[in-house]
Structure 1
């Protein structure tokens, strides 16, 4: 399966608009994208999302832009949750808050009290902010819609071996099989077909991967570690409220060769007990390659525990109070520790 390198994301440069219009956003990747935009209005930064972009689709979004203005546009995007590899991101260095579903907020960075999430936005300036195009290394161009259909069919479990944007016999058969399996009276137009396959893929793939649930009475932060090729990788954090669950890995799991670490974020941080494999981690959002010389590379180190053996591609880890170091009562004159991981 092709692994897309989203670091190759660019905003392409085209001719300026002749009058004030909303920005045009185009998707030439093989993924359904959800876009959030931010811009300055008077003395405020406004952030809005999500604008959905099918592969091969262009839409207008955001505020009307005067071609003579030098005010930048800020841009962040993520892929649909339909894909086995998990959610992909198009991101930059400027942190703003986004909501899990459609939202409109002022540009703030203290996200958690409002139930929002921090995400890195990229800056689109000059003519780039009038028309931005998402691409990937395969450079599908006008083949993006076909490539996107192929990738969704593959995510939904159909026999697609190459994402190339060319509708051959294998793609034609996969579409016919999906139409039959979905009980559709006929093959719909391509936008409707993409929507239907996405819904089927999301329904299928929510039952695959690594699911972590917090059955404690405190908030938890979770990190995972696994080997990718020859490289060990640890990353985090996923925050879980009491009684909630998250899917840390969205692909079908074939083995239990994945490890997790967690901390409870009450008055004092309570780390996980019983971790047998040492990996690097950081107190804020992180992705660390390698599992040795953690301190020399600016990381802390902790024992990670192995996940449960997957059943039909799914492994579920349930955190309970007994999985963590017991709380320690603090004297009245000692301020309670706090904070937490991103």
Structure 2
């Protein structure tokens, strides 16, 4: 599930860095992020990505023309549980799943591309922009990144605050023992190794949905949260693409799934649903599963997700899974 960092904004930092390089993006969050940059021109909006930025580090986007509108989007890597976090805005831009350079694309779907909502940068942010969280880690971002990854790997880190105290040092020592490595206080090497291990462990954990139908599909899920049922959606999955819609280790019977085809104004629901939950036409989150109509929702039937294996469940949608495609 995508989690928008409502208070996490891009802040102007160029005035504090007179020697900043053109097109620089710095990461003062506690997460590894993948960033993309876009810019306007005579042929529409062009974009390039992805550049992975470690906590406390910066990267440079080259080849961006001077004096044109610029846009930025970032998301957390797959190393973290709980779903991706995004730093985004309101401008739709075509992107690819792997590294890309796109010039003036407008019809994303026709080109097999995905859409992400970029934030337009202020003119002074074009030289150097900074990604932050509500907890403004600043120069402590690297230490906070180490704590966040230790937490993602199940080590006992109660608070991510960027202060490497006794508890954090004890968990770093435990990680070194578990991996047979020693980093000697080199936090750059440590955070890189932590990220590699977390990617290997967590990138598949959760509910993964692949779309093998003849068109895009919209996905909604329902699950019990704090003893109360909650349904939410939508995730758009293009034909031939896969998406992790739940990024937590799953237990049997924990998650239910609904899908519908997307074909202009026409859509077909997923067949063989067994449990009723509430949905809405646009992006939604519904607490509870009863009285859908009275609360402005529509009641539909969800399927149980497959039994997870080691916390991972996979679903592949095909044309035969939707109502009017089977007689």
Q: TM-score range by the shorter chain?
A: 0.7 to 0.9
State whether structure 2 residue 193 is matched by structure 1 residue 210: no
State whether structure 2 residue 305 is matched by structure 1 residue 307: yes
Cα distance per residue 1:57-102 (max 9 Å; x no partner):
1233244675xx4x32111111111001121111111101111111
Cα distance per residue 1:221-279 (max 9 Å; x no partner):
2321235456733112242646x643211111245232211235689744222322132
Q: Secondary structure at the match of 1:252?
A: coil
Q: Secondary structure at the match of 1:251?
A: coil
Q: Which residue number in structure 2 is paired with residue 36 of structure 1?
A: 36
Q: Which residue number in structure 1 is paired with residue 256 of structure 2?
A: 259
CA drift of 1:27 comes to 1.1
Q: Which residue number in structure 1 is paired with residue 231 of structure 2?
A: 233
Q: Does the Cα contact within 8 Å between 2:30 and 2:148 map onto a contact in 1?
A: yes
Q: Where does the alignment leave 5 or more consecutive residues of structure 1 unmatched?
A: 330-342
Q: Secondary structure at the match of 1:22?
A: coil
State whether structure 2 residue 184 is matched by structure 1 residue 194: no
TM-score between both structures, scaled by the size of structure 1: 0.80
CA drift of 1:49 comes to 0.6
State whether structure 2 residue 266 is matched by structure 1 residue 271: no
Q: Which residue number in structure 2 is paired with residue 86 of structure 1?
A: 83
CA RMSD of aligned residues (A): 3.2
Q: Which residue number in structure 2 is paired with residue 114 of structure 1?
A: 111
Partners in 2 of 1:49 and 1:270 — Cα distance? 34
Partners in 2 of 1:271 and 1:295 — Cα distance? 22
- In the alignment, which of 163, 174, 187 is matched to residue 177 of structure 1? 174
Quick one: structure 1 residues 328 and 173, their matched pair in 2 at CA, closer, same or farther if it must change by over 3 Å? closer
Q: Does the Cα contact within 8 Å between 2:278 and 2:292 map onto a contact in 1?
A: no
Partners in 2 of 1:158 and 1:24 — Cα distance? 33
CA drift of 1:51 comes to 1.9
Q: Which residue number in structure 1 is paired with residue 102 of structure 2?
A: 105
Q: Which residue number in structure 2 is paired with residue 23 of structure 1?
A: 23
Q: Does the Cα contact within 8 Å between 2:44 and 2:105 map onto a contact in 1?
A: no
Quick one: structure 1 residues 106 and 136, their matched pair in 2 at CA, closer, same or farther if it must change by over 3 Å? same
CA drift of 1:42 comes to 4.6
Q: Which residue number in structure 1 is paired with residue 72 of structure 2?
A: 75
Quick one: structure 1 residues 252 and 20, their matched pair in 2 at CA, closer, same or farther if it must change by over 3 Å? closer
Q: Secondary structure at the match of 1:194?
A: helix
Cα distance per residue 1:266-293 (max 9 Å; x no partner):
89744222322132142x6x23334555
Q: Which residue number in structure 2 is paired with residue 46 of structure 1?
A: 46
Q: Which residue number in structure 2 is paired with residue 316 of structure 1?
A: 314
- In the alignment, which of 161, 164, 167 is matched to residue 164 of structure 1? 161
Partners in 1 of 2:125 and 2:60 — Cα distance? 14
Quick one: structure 1 residues 45 and 21, their matched pair in 2 at CA, closer, same or farther if it must change by over 3 Å? farther
Q: Secondary structure at the match of 1:113?
A: helix
Partners in 1 of 2:151 and 2:16 — Cα distance? 38
Partners in 1 of 2:113 and 2:168 — Cα distance? 39
